[in-house]
Structure formats: structure tokens, C-alpha cells
Amino acid sequence: MGSNVREEVMAAAKRAAQSHGYTGLNFRELAAEVGIKSATIHYYFPTKVDLGAAIAKRYWEDSQVLLDSLWNGGNDPARALMEYPNTFRVSLEQDNRICLCSFMSAEHDDLPDPVKREVSAFADINIAWLTRVLSAATDMDTAASERRARAIFAAVAGAQLMARSRSDISVFDALIDSYREAGLLPG
Amino acid sequence: MGSNVREEVMAAAKRAAQSHGYTGLNFRELAAEVGIKSATIHYYFPTKVDLGAAIAKRYWEDSQVLLDSLWNGGNDPARALMEYPNTFRVSLEQDNRICLCSFMSAEHDDLPDPVKREVSAFADINIAWLTRVLSAATDMDTAASERRARAIFAAVAGAQLMARSRSDISVFDALIDSYREAGLLPG
DNA sequence: GATCCTCTATCTATCAGTTGATAGAGAATC
DNA sequence: GATTCTCTATCAACTGATAGATAGAGGATC
């Protein structure tokens, strides 16, 4: 298994990036939070690019596992769809953080390519999952499901961003309700 | 009238912040782009906070003027609503930039209070305008119009963010189409 | 069992580059 | 001549990164 320190650094880096972005990540603060020296981080992640790519990759891998646990061909796709916005809500619950990849999407111009690739993968797996669930839960064909999947993903990310800017999770809840009222989200 | 230099600094700072955020703003690059020395910027904007707040304020003021030119009680609110997403599209057309305030919303935790206030104002004036237009263009009551206004604002911002992450403006267009297809946007 | 070697993991110390900010001199404008 | 504007020079803080020392674990060799 991987060392504890490596895992602790990744966990702290993930949290920091959700609050301050890739640009805002810095070795000394990270090290202080884990209780080590910044040079030690370089032992596990030679460069900042390596660290950034590692946490973005881990982020979408964890998301994939979570989504599959929510629905993976079972018998209640409509319920999974109802639950989907909650996967974004939890970030806001944790000190008003947002999706790592939403933040990094804003930072796109300053992102090294290896990090960009992992950020794209997060969107890909979310959209692919939503497409599958929508196809199972509604009578939309695959093309329509994918269009709707992209729309839902973008809209939920936008709702999370707005809620953060107000430091108010009820803004997120209200927006999700409005999406349902408008017909973007089923339910 | 304000000096040319001051205006040029603000224009360059606005563009930079739309690409790199408030954190990514820096006096030396800004000065180089305008063709002056960084110390000169401090003459017009004593601190970075002053500069950040000034460009965010100008940003929503300009947006207010643009929206009012699009619709201000005239006879075609439905058309204004159709045009609304274009006010976000133009940023992407300019080197894949995004809304200054979307970027700064992501940076919320690292934003000085005076800047935060102006960022909030941008959302406020967009939502207020959308609420008025929706009330005029549809049979929704004021409360429903405001809920929908918030939903549209958040969703369009999300679409812009997704398009940036792919460096592909057609992603934005497709998302807006999908919002219409889903019923979030009229048309 | 004592000595030697290697690898892992962490540290101290330091470098070079960047950044926001300031003091004070000089130039331009009125 | 006073005011406005811009520059040079510099500071202190911060940042990613590197070099090199150290401590300990685990084998291999004698």
C-alpha cells in the first residue's frame, strides 16, 4: 500500500485546491498541514505538476466509484438522478469548497497539460454516467440523453459556483429546485 | 475625464483577470502590456485590492449598461432573453476568456472583501435584469421569474466554464441549445 | 554476531525567481 | 513654481525546487 504521508499530502492538496485552485496550492502550507517539511513532498511528487495531476486523477477516480455506487445498471435510475446534485453539494458542506475540476476549469490557461487532461476526464466520466442514467430513466434516445447530460453537468457546476460566491449552501439547493421546476432536471 | 493610462491599466487588468483570476493578476505583466513601469500602476491604484475592486466594479457597471441597451422596458423582451447568453459568449470569443466574476467566484476564499462586494453586485444586476425581462416575456409571477432568473444565470455561467475547459466555443452553443430544449431557457 | 552496504524517508539549508509595495528622484504639465 | 505623473532602485515576503546530511530498516558479507 502507498505510504500514509503520501496519502495525507494528497488529501490536504485536494482540499487546498478546492479552496484555492491549482495556482493557490503551495508546498509549504501543505507540508505544515500534514506536519512535515516541504522538501518531503518533493520526494513523493517531484514537481507541482506531478502533484496537481495526481490529485485531479484521484478526484475523478473517486467520483467514478461514487457514481457507480449510486447507479450501475440497477433498477432505480430516477432515484440516482435525484441524488446526483448531492455529489456536488458535499463540497459546499466542507467549508464552502467547490469541485476541484470546476476551479481548475477556470484556471485552464495556467494549467499544465497533464493536469488539464485529468480535469477533462472528470467531466467525461460525469457526462458518461449521466447519459447512461438518463437513457435508463427516461425515453430520451442516446443523443438526447447525452445533450441533457452535458446540460445538467454544466448547470450543477454553475449552481455550485454561485453558492460559493455567496457562502450560502441554500443558494445551491434553491438553484437545483429551480432546475427541476424548469424541467432541466427530472423530478 | 480619467487619464488614458488609468483606463488602459483597467482594460488590461480586466482581460488578465478573465484569463488568470485575481490571484493571477500581477503588476509587472500588467505594466509591460500597457507599456509603463509597475510602480506607475500604484500611483492610480495604491494596492492590488484597489485595482481588483475597481475592475470588478467597472465590470458590472459595463454589464448593466449593455443589458439595459438590450432591454429596458421596450416591446420585445423575448428577443432580449434570446440574446442574453451572447453577453457571456463574447468572453469566450476573446481568447477563451470567462466572466471576470465567475473566475472570482471560484477564488472567493482568497478575495479581499471590497472585491467580493463588486463580484456579488455583478450577479445581482444580472439576476435583477433577467427577472424583469422574464416577468415581461412570460406569464410567470415575480417570485417565479426571480427563481428562473437565478437558474438561468447560474446555468449560463456553468456553460461558459465548461466551454473554457475544452477551449471550444461550440460547447457553449450546444449547452445553450440544450437549455432551450430542456425548457430552462425560453425559445 | 559484527561489519558493511543499500534503500527509504525525512530533514536542514539554500537558491533563484516572482510579487506587492515603497521611497525618492526626475520629468511633464499647468 | 507647484502639481501631476512616471521612473529607478530596492525591499521583504513567498514560492518551487535542489543539494546534501542524517537516521533507521533490512540484507548481504565476513
Per the CB < 8 A criterion, the answer to whether B118 and B56 are in contact is: yes
Q: How far apart are CA B95 and CA A67, in angstroms?
A: 34
Contacts of B180 (CB under 8 A, 6+ apart): B186, B187
Question: Does residue A162 belong to any structural domain of this protein?
Answer: yes
State if pTM tops 0.85: yes
At A96, list the grid cell: 464552502
B48 CA, D5 C1': Å apart:
19
Question: Does residue B99 belong to any structural domain of this protein?
Answer: yes
User: Which whole-number Å values give the CA distances from A98 to A21, A89, A113, B147, in the listed order?
Assistant: 10, 9, 22, 22
B181 CA, C14 C1': Å apart:
60
Predicted confidence pLDDT, tens digits, chain B (187 residues) = 467 999 999 999 999 999 999 999 999 999 999 999 999 999 999 999 999 999 999 999 999 999 999 999 888 999 999 999 999 999 999 999 999 999 999 999 999 999 999 999 999 999 999 999 999 999 999 999 999 999 999 999 999 999 999 999 999 999 999 999 999 999 7
Question: Does residue A71 belong to any structural domain of this protein?
Answer: yes
Asked if A157's CB is within 8 angstroms of B162's CB, the reply is yes
Q: Binning pLDDT at 50, 70 and 90, where does residue A74 land?
A: confident
Q: What is the pLDDT of residues A82-113, one digit of tens each?
A: 999 999 999 999 999 999 999 999 999 999 99
pLDDT of residue B75: 83
The alpha carbon of residue A3 is apart from the nearest alpha carbon of chain B, in Å, by 31
Hits for CB < 7 Å against strand C across A residues 12-51: 31, 35-40, 43-44
Per the CB < 8 A criterion, the answer to whether A96 and A167 are in contact is: yes
How many structural domains are present in chain A? 1
Asked if A98's CB is within 8 angstroms of B106's CB, the reply is yes
CATH number of the CATH domain containing A93: 1.10.357.10
Question: Does residue A116 belong to any structural domain of this protein?
Answer: yes
Q: What is the dihedral of CA B131, A175, B165, B121, to 10 degrees?
A: 50
Domain that holds residue A72: 56-182
A52 CA, D7 C1': Å apart:
40
Q: Binning pLDDT at 50, 70 and 90, where does residue A75 land?
A: confident
Q: What is the pLDDT of residues A2-25, one digit of tens each?
A: 678 999 999 999 999 999 999 999
Average pLDDT, integer, range A132-156: 97
Which chain C positions come under 7 Å from a protein C-beta? 9-13, 18-24
Task: State whether the Cα torsion A82-A85-A91-A93 is positive or negative.
Answer: negative
Question: Does residue B152 belong to any structural domain of this protein?
Answer: yes
Radius of gyration of chain A (CA): 18
Please list every residue in chain B whose beta carbon sits closer than 8 Å to the beta carbon of residue A105. Answer: 161-162, 164-165
Asked if A181's CB is within 8 angstroms of B184's CB, the reply is no
At B162, list the grid cell: 465548461
Q: Which nucleotide is nearest to A5 (CA to C1')?
A: C9
Average pLDDT, integer, range A142-148: 97
Question: Does residue A101 belong to any structural domain of this protein?
Answer: yes
The alpha carbon of residue A171 is apart from the nearest alpha carbon of chain B, in Å, by 9
Question: Does residue A157 belong to any structural domain of this protein?
Answer: yes
Question: Does residue B34 belong to any structural domain of this protein?
Answer: no
